[in-house]
Amino acid sequence: MPNVTVEGYGTFNVEKGKKLVLALEDNGVDILHRCGGKARCTTCRVEVIEGDFSELTSVEQTAFSGKGLMDTGLRLSCQVHVNGDATVRPVMTEKESGMDAGPRPAE
Protein backbone atom coordinates (compact mmCIF):
# COMPACT_ATOMS: atom_id res chain seq x y z
CA MET A 1 0.00 0.00 0.00
CA PRO A 2 1.26 3.47 -0.82
CA ASN A 3 1.98 5.95 1.96
CA VAL A 4 0.60 9.47 1.74
CA THR A 5 2.16 12.12 3.95
CA VAL A 6 0.07 15.22 4.51
CA GLU A 7 1.88 18.21 5.94
CA GLY A 8 0.44 19.00 9.33
CA TYR A 9 -1.52 15.72 9.55
CA GLY A 10 0.95 12.83 9.34
CA THR A 11 1.42 9.76 7.17
CA PHE A 12 -1.11 7.06 6.38
CA ASN A 13 -1.46 3.97 4.19
CA VAL A 14 -3.84 4.30 1.27
CA GLU A 15 -5.37 1.63 -0.90
CA LYS A 16 -3.74 1.78 -4.32
CA GLY A 17 -6.00 3.44 -6.86
CA LYS A 18 -8.11 5.37 -4.33
CA LYS A 19 -9.03 8.97 -5.14
CA LEU A 20 -6.74 11.27 -3.21
CA VAL A 21 -9.62 13.42 -1.91
CA LEU A 22 -11.27 10.36 -0.35
CA ALA A 23 -7.99 9.12 1.10
CA LEU A 24 -7.45 12.52 2.72
CA GLU A 25 -10.96 12.77 4.12
CA ASP A 26 -10.97 9.16 5.36
CA ASN A 27 -7.78 9.86 7.29
CA GLY A 28 -8.94 12.98 9.10
CA VAL A 29 -7.84 15.71 6.71
CA ASP A 30 -10.64 18.28 6.55
CA ILE A 31 -10.06 19.13 2.89
CA LEU A 32 -12.71 21.07 1.05
CA HIS A 33 -14.54 19.57 -1.94
CA ARG A 34 -17.36 22.06 -2.38
CA CYS A 35 -18.52 20.77 -5.79
CA GLY A 36 -18.59 17.14 -4.68
CA GLY A 37 -15.59 16.05 -6.70
CA LYS A 38 -16.70 17.34 -10.09
CA ALA A 39 -13.56 19.46 -10.73
CA ARG A 40 -15.50 22.73 -10.85
CA CYS A 41 -14.63 24.57 -7.64
CA THR A 42 -10.88 23.76 -7.22
CA THR A 43 -11.28 23.81 -3.42
CA CYS A 44 -9.82 20.29 -3.13
CA ARG A 45 -6.50 21.34 -4.63
CA VAL A 46 -3.29 20.18 -3.06
CA GLU A 47 0.31 21.16 -3.54
CA VAL A 48 2.35 18.09 -4.46
CA ILE A 49 5.61 18.19 -2.51
CA GLU A 50 6.81 14.71 -3.54
CA GLY A 51 5.35 11.91 -5.61
CA ASP A 52 3.88 11.45 -9.04
CA PHE A 53 0.21 11.67 -9.97
CA SER A 54 0.95 11.65 -13.74
CA GLU A 55 0.23 14.61 -16.02
CA LEU A 56 -2.50 17.15 -15.39
CA THR A 57 -5.77 15.93 -16.85
CA SER A 58 -7.65 18.11 -19.34
CA VAL A 59 -10.38 18.51 -16.70
CA GLU A 60 -7.82 19.89 -14.23
CA GLN A 61 -6.29 22.16 -16.86
CA THR A 62 -9.72 23.62 -17.64
CA ALA A 63 -10.58 24.09 -13.96
CA PHE A 64 -7.24 25.68 -13.13
CA SER A 65 -7.17 28.00 -16.13
CA GLY A 66 -10.73 29.15 -15.35
CA LYS A 67 -9.54 30.21 -11.89
CA GLY A 68 -6.15 31.56 -13.00
CA LEU A 69 -4.29 28.76 -11.14
CA MET A 70 -1.82 27.37 -13.64
CA ASP A 71 0.83 26.37 -11.07
CA THR A 72 2.21 22.99 -12.12
CA GLY A 73 2.71 21.95 -8.49
CA LEU A 74 -1.05 21.91 -7.85
CA ARG A 75 -3.47 19.04 -8.42
CA LEU A 76 -7.16 18.53 -7.81
CA SER A 77 -7.38 15.77 -5.24
CA CYS A 78 -10.77 14.75 -6.66
CA GLN A 79 -9.17 13.95 -10.01
CA VAL A 80 -6.05 12.00 -9.06
CA HIS A 81 -5.61 8.50 -7.72
CA VAL A 82 -2.98 7.30 -5.28
CA ASN A 83 -0.67 4.85 -7.04
CA GLY A 84 2.54 5.43 -5.10
CA ASP A 85 4.02 7.23 -2.13
CA ALA A 86 3.39 10.97 -2.04
CA THR A 87 3.65 14.05 0.14
CA VAL A 88 1.02 16.75 -0.27
CA ARG A 89 -0.14 19.95 1.38
CA PRO A 90 -3.87 20.76 1.31
CA VAL A 91 -4.48 24.30 0.09
CA MET A 92 -7.99 24.75 1.52
CA THR A 93 -9.39 23.07 4.62
CA GLU A 94 -12.58 23.49 6.65
CA LYS A 95 -10.63 24.76 9.62
CA GLU A 96 -8.70 27.40 7.67
CA SER A 97 -11.61 28.57 5.52
CA GLY A 98 -14.52 28.29 7.97
CA MET A 99 -16.56 26.66 5.19
CA ASP A 100 -18.33 23.30 5.14
CA ALA A 101 -16.37 20.68 3.20
CA GLY A 102 -19.17 20.04 0.69
CA PRO A 103 -20.74 16.79 -0.51
CA ARG A 104 -18.54 13.70 -0.38
CA PRO A 105 -17.14 12.90 -3.83
CA ALA A 106 -18.08 9.61 -5.45
CA GLU A 107 -15.71 6.66 -5.27
Query: What pLDDT, on the 0 to 100 scale, is given for residue 51?
Result: 95
- Domain presence at residue 106: no
Q: Which domain holds residue 27?
A: 3-97
Answer yes or no: is 54 within a domain.
yes
| pLDDT at position 72 | 72
Per-residue pLDDT of 55-99, as tens digits, reads 899 999 999 999 988 777 899 999 999 999 999 999 999 999 999
Distance of CA 88 to the CA centre of its chain: 8
Q: Is residue 37 part of a domain?
A: yes
Tens-place pLDDT, residues 8-64: 999 999 999 999 999 999 999 999 999 999 999 999 999 999 998 988 999 999 999
Is residue 69 classed exposed, middle or buried when 0-12, 13-18 and 19+ CB atoms within 10 A define those classes? middle
Check residue 85 and give its pLDDT. 98
The domain spanning residue 16 has which CATH number? 3.10.20.30
Total domains in the chain come to 1
Whether 44 is covered by a domain: the verdict is: yes
